[in-house]
Structure 1
């Protein structure tokens, strides 16, 4: 198991987060969603100006708790997550991505745990995530961590 340190993202992490998210989306959904939907996901979710702005929101914004990054022993970013508490009591995981070479080594679990702790600190009693597909490749990860379907593409778990 790879040990990952999780910290709040800094401005200098924006490019790495953008690339990591884009690689994760392409790696997970190419051949499943089709070229145009994958391009749309990448262009909306991985836009560098958007990620930079989200990292630099002073003190956060209502409902936004920011980006987290996981780093390996050498300090390289190997995963990223973003979340918030947009509705009182309901945490929302907006993004969770792990570099391909670091998957199945505890990085995603470390990021989810850190995001969950932040959400609990802001009063979340439940956590939710939306997925692009009913048969999303990440379903086993979320199932194993106690998420259950609210709809075919929306999962939830109590905290």
Structure 2
């Protein structure tokens, strides 16, 4: 799998984002989250009307920087990320997911870099993530990317 690039999500990407995010949550948290918390997480994070609305917010909303998609050389979406700067100086990664077959090919790193660049351009000097579970399967990735613990499920790193 070769990464073609990262771009801002378009309206036509909403269903793909919803499906990819739900698939990644199911595969990543199977055996970690019970069925009801898993359903709640998918319902909250992957609702197609919500993702459509978030993509179509003209000019963004206060603190919201939008969805990004990573594509392979054939144009298929292989990863997604969303984030914002909800508090001055503090960036927040709301979602970062990479399709199972595209992991360990730099997709997550490219998405996080693009999201971080956006956050810096809006004045963020720190970046945080809230993980859905403890222990979380994404923790090794974030630790490798320089994040450290704020609490058992919240991690942070400097963007300076």
Give the shorter-chain TM-score range.
over 0.9
Kindly tell me the number of residue pairs found equivalent between the two proteins. Answer: 159
Question: For the residues of structure 2 that align with 1:136 and 1:86, how far apart are their CA atoms?
Answer: 23
For residue 150 of structure 2, give the secondary structure of its aligned residue in structure 1.
strand
Question: For the residues of structure 2 that align with 1:42 and 1:124, how far apart are their CA atoms?
Answer: 28
Runs (4+) off by over 2 Å:
1-4
Aligned to 1:87: 87
Question: For the residues of structure 2 that align with 1:64 and 1:84, how far apart are their CA atoms?
Answer: 4
- What is the TM-score when the length of structure 2 is the normalising length? 0.98
The C-alpha deviation readout for 1:2-41, integer Å capped at 9, x for no partner, is 3240000000000000000000000011111111111111
Question: For the residues of structure 1 that align with 2:41 and 2:133, how far apart are their CA atoms?
Answer: 12
For structure 1, which segment, 105-114 or 27-36, has the greater mean C-alpha deviation from structure 2 after superposition? 27-36
RMSD: 0.8
Aligned to 1:61: 61
* Unaligned stretches of 5+ residues in structure 2: none
Tell me, yes or no, if structure 1 residue 129 matches structure 2 residue 129: yes
Deviation at 1:134, TM superposition (A): 2.0
Aligned to 2:71: 71
Aligned to 2:42: 42
Question: For the residues of structure 2 that align with 1:2 and 1:81, how far apart are their CA atoms?
Answer: 18
